[in-house]
């Protein structure tokens, strides 16, 4: 029968098994770190999985549980310290299941009003936390890359209203994220970078970059400050950079994909002075707001500007866009969208903001404690004093090859995932701490393994 895949209840037994699997995964304490396998190994063990007749749900689930899932690294493992990890709360993971089961279209108010209302409360909370005025708003998009692109498209669209340009440019720092370059490529514009002082973009750096852009015949339209650089977790001098942006009549965008969550910690709020000047900002719940992949909160001071830039028009859409309703999709480069802000909403509604403040603060405190331990060990050297929850350090005398071998051994042993990195051509490694279950004693054990 052609409706065999859709009849409610037809898969009751399988439903139980899938939900049991999800429950078991959430009960693992911790989930095994696991490790990647080669294509040859997976081909041998999993074989051809897409067939005309299907494998049957139980076999497919078994394949996933026994072969495929162990070949994926558990990003929420407490000793996954590479890149920027993720550590979803149980409440947020649970609600991701609900979102999946609920078939909600999150692009328009008409179709998703209840869910959009909840998402918008989270965006309003974030806007308020950053000192943006009432009326600010935006949308949860897939990730920071798309958030940055969408904000910059809105910024340029807005600049076009008042001036023309032979060649548009965005001003950013040498420590800003690679996604800005990716956005510039898509937009066919230039990125002009200014220098940092101790990893921080300052008023002087922003001025220097603007002058150099103007001297090259470019027309800057936006300045980007980073609230928590990816490599070092340093917050730019947002007050200084924002001031320069305003002085030149440029859009001020704050890229806080990783680090803007740190503003929730009362003891670290002061680091973000100047974020209230932002015309737009992003922060990724899947990085440091303890939500599952994937979500980026994109907020505009004046959402109407974003709508003018992003609203799609078509005969089939006018019934949605001509209502005057708040349609999330009109604020970014997207149309159909999952209500990917709901897992964060549910978790925040469940636990309250105070627990988030404590969890974020505990990550920063742990990073500073382990940095002190690193500084005290004669075979290690801090590359820079940490500010938020990223600690970058060197093992004296090690080459890139030594770091890689040590890193591979750590992963093979199932204890930790810490990859080599580098700064100014010198190899190093880093701990990015966003998981409240990461233990000081485990970090010490990792340092011991480098002796």
Ligand X SMILES: *Cc1c(COP(=O)(O)O)cnc(C)c1O
Instruction: List contacts with ligand X (CB under 6 A).
Output: 84, 143-145, 148, 177, 179, 226, 230, 255, 257-258, 284, 296
Q: Is residue 241 within 8 Å of residue 223, measured between CB atoms?
A: yes
Cα(54)–Cα(205) distance, integer angstroms: 59
- Smallest gap from residue 399 Cβ to ligand X (A): 27
- Smallest gap from residue 297 Cβ to ligand X (A): 11
In sign, the C-alpha dihedral spanning 350, 270, 234, 191 is positive
Quick one: 115 or 183, whose CB is closer to ligand X?
Answer: 183
- Smallest gap from residue 296 Cβ to ligand X (A): 5
- Smallest gap from residue 409 Cβ to ligand X (A): 27
Using DSSP's 3-state secondary structure scheme, residue 198 falls into coil
Quick one: 264 or 450, whose CB is closer to ligand X?
Answer: 264
Quick one: 136 or 145, whose CB is closer to ligand X?
Answer: 145
DSSP, residue by residue, 267-336: TTGGGGTTGGG-SEEEE-HHHHS---S--EEEEESSHHHHHHHH----TTTHHHHTT----GGGGTT-SS
- Smallest gap from residue 144 Cβ to ligand X (A): 2
**Burial degree of 372 (CB within 10 A; 0-12, 13-18, 19+):** exposed
- Smallest gap from residue 205 Cβ to ligand X (A): 16
Quick one: 145 or 158, whose CB is closer to ligand X?
Answer: 145
Quick one: 76 or 398, whose CB is closer to ligand X?
Answer: 76
Q: What is the largest CA-CA distance in the chain?
A: 71
Quick one: 151 or 447, whose CB is closer to ligand X?
Answer: 151
Cα(281)–Cα(242) distance, integer angstroms: 12
From the centroid of its chain, how far is CA 128?
Answer: 20
Q: Is residue 197 within 8 Å of residue 205, measured between CB atoms?
A: yes
The token duo for 164 is: 């023309």
- Smallest gap from residue 372 Cβ to ligand X (A): 25
Residue whose C-alpha is closest to residue 348's, from 175, 42, 23, 92: 92
Quick one: 219 or 226, whose CB is closer to ligand X?
Answer: 226
The string over 420-438, giving b where at least 16 C-beta atoms fall within 10 Å of a residue's C-beta and e elsewhere, is bbbeeeebbbbbbbbbbeb
- Smallest gap from residue 385 Cβ to ligand X (A): 19
Quick one: 291 or 450, whose CB is closer to ligand X?
Answer: 291
**CB-CB neighbours of 203 under 10 Å:** 17
Cα(435)–Cα(109) distance, integer angstroms: 34
Quick one: 93 or 173, whose CB is closer to ligand X?
Answer: 173
- Smallest gap from residue 38 Cβ to ligand X (A): 25
Residue of minimal Cβ distance to ligand X: 144
The token duo for 49 is: 């999985």
């Amino acid at each position: 029968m052609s409706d065999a895949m859709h009849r409610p209840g037809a898969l009751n037994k399988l439903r139980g098994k899938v939900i049991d699997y999800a429950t078991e995964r959430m009960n693992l304490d911790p989930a095994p770190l696991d490790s990647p396998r080669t294509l040859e190994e997976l081909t041998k063990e999993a074989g051809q999985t897409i067939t005309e007749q299907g494998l049957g749900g139980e076999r497919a689930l078994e394949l996933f549980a026994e072969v495929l899932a162990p070949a994926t690294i558990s990003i929420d493992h407490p000793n996954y310290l590479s890149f920027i990890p993720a550590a979803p709360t149980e409440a947020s993971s649970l609600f991701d299941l609900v979102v999946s089961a609920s078939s909600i279209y999150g692009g328009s108010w008409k179709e998703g009003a209840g869910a959009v209302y909840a998402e918008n409360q989270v965006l309003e909370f974030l806007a308020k936390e950053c000192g943006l005025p009432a009326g600010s708003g935006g949308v949860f998009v897939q990730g920071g890359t798309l958030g940055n692109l969408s904000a910059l498209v809105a910024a340029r669209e807005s600049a076009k209203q008042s001036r023309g340009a032979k060649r548009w440019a965005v001003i950013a720092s040498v420590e800003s994220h690679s996604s800005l370059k990716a956005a510039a490529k898509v937009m066919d514009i230039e990125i002009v970078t200014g220098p940092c002082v101790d990893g921080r973009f300052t008023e002087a750096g922003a001025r220097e970059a603007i002058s150099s852009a103007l001297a090259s015949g470019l027309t800057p339209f936006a300045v980007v400050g980073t609230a928590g650089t990816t490599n070092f977790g340093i917050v730019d001098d947002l007050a200084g950079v924002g001031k320069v942006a305003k002085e030149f009549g440029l859009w001020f965008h704050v890229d806080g994909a990783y680090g803007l969550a740190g503003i929730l910690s009362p003891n670290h709020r002061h680091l973000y002075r100047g974020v209230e000047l932002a015309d737009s900002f992003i922060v990724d719940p899947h990085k440091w707001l303890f939500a599952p992949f994937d979500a980026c909160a994109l907020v505009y001071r004046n959402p109407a500007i974003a709508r003018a830039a992003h609203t799609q028009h078509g005969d089939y859409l006018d019934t949605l866009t001509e209502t005057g309703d708040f349609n999330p999709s009109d604020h970014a480069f997207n149309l159909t969208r999952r209500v990917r802000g709901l897992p964060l909403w549910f978790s925040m509604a469940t636990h309250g903001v105070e627990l988030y403040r404590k969890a974020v603060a505990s990550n920063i405190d742990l990073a500073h404690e382990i940095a002190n331990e690193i500084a005290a060990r004669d075979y290690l050297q801090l590359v820079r004093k940490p500010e938020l929850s990223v600690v970058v350090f060197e093992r004296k005398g090690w080459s890139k090859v030594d770091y890689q071998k040590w890193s591979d051994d750590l992963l093979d042993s199932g204890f930790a995932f810490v990859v080599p990195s580098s700064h100014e051509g010198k190899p190093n490694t880093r701990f990015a701490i966003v998981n409240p279950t990461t233990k000081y004693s485990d970090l010490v054990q990792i340092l011991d393994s480098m002796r």
